[in-house]
Amino acid sequence: MKILMSIALGLAVLCGPVMAQKPAATKKPAVTAALKTADAVLTASAKAMGSAASDKVTTSVAKAKMSIPANGLNGEMEMMVSKERFFMKQTLPGIGDILMGFDGKNGWAKDPINGLRDLEGAELAQAKDEVKNQKTSDWKQRYKKAELLGVRKVGVAQAYAVRLTPKTGAAQTHYFDTKTLFLVRTDMVAVGPTGKIPTETYLSDYRLLDGMQIPFKTRSIVSGIQEVIITYTDVKNNVPVDETLFNKPKAEPKK
């Protein structure tokens, strides 16, 4: 359903490929009849969001603005995905660069606090799972179980709440607007250097791009208190990428 993964402060959070352009004209979605099963919701949502079109995307390079209002921080983010590999760079004033990469087998991260380190255990499994399954339109390829919890309110919308249990990692709850069937919220427990971190992510400003409905804005609530807002500004699909960025950088010599 999604191509790129955005990582807010070292957390793996879903996002999609976007570019700065005028929103494409789209037909007003018809009101969807009540769906009775998780499979029906997920199948209908995949079709509504154009997930099958992601099979035509081999590489994606995106840029975004990010902000952490409580700390008055405003930074930038760059991401790229290619052949089950990814690279992410965040730049925050007063903090520096936060990097993360996965070369298809090994994952790594580098930041001013923890330095350069390898991703291991749950962190590595999280990165591997998300990138490996980024283009899958069939939910059964990603999750071993799906349960429809009913209809819940998300902002001003009514949404189908579906609990998804992945093949590895903790269960997640995804919320799909009952009218558009677009994903409008995800609840998950991400894994970072400090351990397990509950994260709520709200997706909005959907636009049609390359046959897919893409959220241009995400707002994440990390650990119930920290708000991280990401607004996408540019993306280029199916373009050459710098293959060396996926690889773990060499450790800097000790002074």
Domain-embedded: residue 91: yes
- Position 65 scores a pLDDT of 96
In a domain, 255, yes or no: no
107 has a pLDDT exceeding 80: yes
Asked whether the beta carbons of 242 and 236 are under 8 A apart, the reply is no
pLDDT reading at 9 higher than 50: no
Tell me the pLDDT band of 237, cut-offs 50, 70 and 90: confident
**Within-domain flag for 99:** yes
What is the predicted pLDDT for the residue at 33? Answer: 53
Separation of first and last alpha carbons in the chain: 46
Domain-embedded: residue 252: no
- Residue 248 belongs to a domain: no
Q: So what's the pLDDT on residue 10?
A: 38
As for how many domains the chain has, the answer is 1
Pick 96 or 197 by higher pLDDT: 96
- What's residue 129's pLDDT? 72
Tell me whether residue 37 is in a domain.
yes
User: What is the pLDDT at residue 26?
Assistant: 42
Residue 19 has pLDDT above 70, yes or no: no
pLDDT in tens, 141-198: 778 899 999 999 999 999 999 999 988 778 999 999 999 999 999 999 877 776 788 9
Amino acid 132: pLDDT: 62
Has residue 250 been placed in a domain? no
* Residue 38's CATH number: 2.50.20
pLDDT at 25 over 60: no
pLDDT at 38 over 90: yes
pLDDT of residue 133: 55
Mean pLDDT of 42-70: 89
Domain that holds residue 125: 5-236
Q: What is the mean pLDDT of the chain?
A: 81
Give residue-wise pLDDT tens across range 73-90.
899 999 999 988 999 999
pLDDT of residue 137: 61
Give the pairing of strands 73-82 and 59-68.
antiparallel
Give the pLDDT score at 254.
63
Q: What is the pLDDT of residues 238-248, one digit of tens each?
A: 889 999 999 99
The pLDDT of residue 147: 96
- Please tell me which residue, 154 or 4, carries the higher pLDDT value: 154
Residue-wise pLDDT for 114-147, tens only, equals 899 999 888 888 777 767 655 556 778 778 899 9
Judge whether 85 and 102 are in contact, CB under 8 Å.
Answer: yes
246 domain residue, yes or no = no
Share of the chain above pLDDT 90, in %: 47
